[in-house]
C-alpha cells in the first residue's frame, strides 16, 4: 500500500495541534491574524517559505517539511 504524502495544510494543522500552543496563542507568537493562520490550515492560502521557516522556530520538535 502506497502512502500518499501529506498536504502542506494538513502538516501545519498537525504540527500546531501536537505543540503546546493553541491556535490563538500560536497566531500571537507568529504575530499574525488568527484568520490568516486558519486559512493556512484549511488550505485556502499557501504560506510563503519564510513563513513556514518562522513557524518551525516555534514548533521545534514538530517541524513542517518544506
> What is the mean pLDDT, run by run of 10 residues, along the chain of 66 residues?
76 93 95 96 94 92 84
- pLDDT of 6 reads 77
- pLDDT of 8 reads 92
- pLDDT of 25 reads 96
- pLDDT of 53 reads 94
CA-nearest of 32, 22, 19 to 40 is 32
| Cα gap 24→3, rounded to integer Å | 32
| Cα gap 19→3, rounded to integer Å | 24
CA-nearest of 5, 21, 12, 14 to 46 is 12
- pLDDT of 3 reads 61
The conformation of residue 1, written as its DSSP 8-state character, comes to: -
Amino acid at each position: 500500500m502506497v502512502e500518499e504524502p501529506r498536504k502542506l495544510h494538513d502538516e501545519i494543522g498537525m504540527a500546531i495541534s501536537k505543540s503546546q500552543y493553541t491556535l490563538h496563542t500560536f497566531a500571537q507568537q507568529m504575530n499574525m491574524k488568527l484568520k490568516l493562520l486558519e486559512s493556512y490550515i484549511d488550505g485556502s492560502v499557501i504560506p510563503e517559505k519564510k513563513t513556514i521557516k518562522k513557524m518551525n522556530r516555534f514548533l521545534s520538535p514538530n517541524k513542517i517539511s518544506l
